[in-house]
Every structure is written in C-alpha cells, then in structure tokens.
Structure 1
Amino acid sequence: MLLNILLFSVLIICLITDLKSRKIYNKVIFPSLLLALLLNVILHGWSGLTGSLLGFAAGLGILLIPYLMGGMGAGDVKLLALIGAIKGASFVFATAILMGVIGGLIGLGIILFRKGFLQRMKSVFYTICGMKYGMKLRDAVGNEGLKKTYPYGVAIAGGAFAAFFLNGVNFL
C-alpha cells in the first residue's frame, strides 16, 4: 500500500513537471529512491532490498543505451529506474513494454497531427515512385522533422499506470 502511494505520487509529480517544463527533477527522484529502498527493507526485509536493487538496475539498464545514444533524457532513465526500485524488476519490465507501445502511439499522433502532414506524405509517395525508375529525389522527411521531441516521461508514467492496473506481469 505505501509503495503504491509512493509510486502514484512520483508518477503524478513527474508527469506534471515533464509536461510543464520538460524536466524530471532530481529533487523528486533521489528522495523517492531512498524512501523506496527504506520501505522495501521495512516491509519485506533484506529480500525486499534485493528486489528493489534488482528493479533499479533493470530500469536503469532498459533506458541506458537510448540515453547514451542521445535519444532519451537522463530524467527519463532515472524515473524508470525509480519505478523498478519501488515495484521490482518484473513490474519495470511490464512497464517498459507498455511504455514502448504508448510512446509509439504518442509519436505516431505527433507525426499525424503536426503541421504539413499531407505535404510530407505526398513527398514520400513521389520519392517511392521515383525510386522505381531510378530517380533521386529530395528527402521526403526534412531535417526539422527529425529534431522534434516530446516529453517521454508521459509514456513512462502511462506504462507504469497501465502495468499497475493490468496487474503488472499477467500479460507477459
């Protein structure tokens, strides 16, 4: 119960700050991490600490490579690691799968509803048709389209909420 309250509190705070300022603050993550470790020890003993540390490592490992490649912010990585520290490795794996689905849907929505969608689709069509005849046409997607980002903490929080309400790992 206490761990669930901590999870929901952190997710709501991080969701709001990520939407508002595109940041997930360390002053939320680090105290919550210490509280998660402490609560897991109090509630479950040393096995709770082990499970919490394994969940932390799993959450960190899942987003570490995208972060190192520049596709993810450090706050997103720390948030997923914190989710693992609160609820454990199996929960963070379920969260990661759902996070990927939700993040993909958000990205697709951004592509579909961003200004100039019809022009981009027409350009893609002409490029594909031109390739059939060996023609080299200009790029269908401009560089400005590749630089668009969105707050991925929304997808992480959505994945964690979905994993919680789907009973974590029952769908794996």
Structure 2
Amino acid sequence: MSALDLTANGLLLAMLGIAAITDLRSHRIPNWLVSAGLLAALLVQILGHGIGAGSWAWLTGAAAGLAPFLVLYLIGALGAGDAKLMASIGAFVGVQAALHIVIASFLLGGVMAVTIMLTRKHARQTLAGLSARLLWLPFGWRATATGNDKMETTARLPYAVAMAAGVLLVMTGTL
C-alpha cells in the first residue's frame, strides 16, 4: 500500500470518526467536516490519478455515494448530512467501493434501526410512521397523513455509525 493510500485511508477514517461521534451526540453531521472531506478526497484523487482521471474518479464516486442516500433524504428517511457524508465517502473510494459501502451501510443501518426500535420499545410507532410514508410515496414524496415532509418516527438513527462500520467492513475485505 502506497503512502498516498495510507494517507487517504487515514483521512477517511478520521472524517468518519468525527462524523460518528458528532452524530451520536447531536444527531448532526457538520457541513465543515463533509466539505473538508470532499476537498481532501479531490486532492487525493488528483494526486493518485492526475487532474482529468482524478477529477472524474472523485465526481463519479461522490455521485455513486450520494444518489441512493439522496432518495432516502427526499422521502425523509434520513438527514441531509447523512447523504452528504456518503458523497464524501464515495469521493474518497471511487464508484465500485462506494457501491459496496452503500450496501454495507444499508444492511448495518437496518440492523441498528431494528435494534434501537426493539430496545427502546418504539417498534409500533416507528413502523406506523414508515408504513404511512411508504404507502403515500407513489403519490408524491411530500404527501403524508400529517402533512409533514419528514417521516414520523420516534427514534433517530445515528447513520454515520453505520457508514463508518460499512467503510471498515469494505476496507478490511470482510464484505
């Protein structure tokens, strides 16, 4: 592994560590952190692949990370910070690894969500809010029984933790 790869992995893991901690504490992911991650990823990609290919790898990786999470943000299933963080992750790792990390994060996030629902006894309220959102989804993402444009749930999921775990699983070759 080259010095650039080690540096890139260290920057990515540092960004994810800060994001996970702040998400656990405040249910927010700071814009300055995501912006710094995107800039660092662009620099890493350019140093590794040159200006043209590096910029393209950065852009396509960010898009691959952002697209699935943007859909979930639009239906109110997660916050904008989560979507932006996944874009930053994708910018670091490129398209193929970003797609693996997205899948791993979805699986780990699902396990976290079920665990939180069961341990906090919020399953009934959370599932009711989710089912109402999914039933109205074909008729427009803003249409809900309550008129809110956010999903009605009773627990907030620190999704940066699932993303950090997904990155670690993909980086170590476990997934």
Deviates more, 1:81-90 or 1:103-112: 103-112
Identity between Structure 1 and Structure 2 (%): 39
Measure, in 1, the Cα distance between the counterparts of 2:155 and 2:44. Answer: 39
Correspondent of 2:162 among 137, 152, 155: 155
Matched, 1:93 2:99: yes
The match for 1:114 is 120
Correspondent of 2:55 among 49, 53, 58: 49
Matched, 1:26 2:31: yes
Correspondent of 1:104 among 110, 130, 137: 110
Q: 1:71 deviation in Å?
A: 1.0
Measure, in 2, the Cα distance between the counterparts of 1:114 and 1:35. Answer: 38
What are the superposed Cα offsets for residues 134-171 of structure 1, whole Å, 9 maximum, x if unpaired? xxxxxxxxxxx83322211111111111111117xxx5
The match for 2:133 is none
Secondary structure, aligned partner of 1:166: coil
Larger radius of gyration: 1
Q: Provide the alpha-carbon RMSD of the alignment.
A: 1.8
Measure, in 1, the Cα distance between the counterparts of 2:8 and 2:14. Answer: 10
The match for 1:125 is none
Alignment check: 8 A CA contact 2:64 2:87 kept: yes
Deviates more, 1:147-156 or 1:92-101: 147-156
The match for 1:146 is 153
Unaligned runs of 5+ in 2: 1-5, 125-151
Secondary structure, aligned partner of 1:146: coil
Work out the number of aligned pairs and report it: 142
Correspondent of 2:71 among 46, 57, 65: 65
Equivalent AA in structure 1 for residue 16 of structure 2: L
Measure, in 2, the Cα distance between the counterparts of 1:116 and 1:73. Answer: 20
Give matches, 1:30-41, under 5 Å: 30-41=35-46
What are the superposed Cα offsets for residues 49-101 of structure 1, whole Å, 9 maximum, x if unpaired? 21111000111111111101111101000110000001101111000111111
Q: 1:116 deviation in Å?
A: 7.5
Measure, in 2, the Cα distance between the counterparts of 1:69 and 1:49. Answer: 30
Measure, in 2, the Cα distance between the counterparts of 1:6 and 1:116. Answer: 36
TM-score with structure 1 length normalisation?
0.76
Equivalent AA in structure 2 for residue 42 of structure 1: L
TM-score with structure 2 length normalisation?
0.75
Unaligned runs of 5+ in 1: 121-144
Q: Displaced runs of 4+ in structure 1, greater than 6 A?
A: none
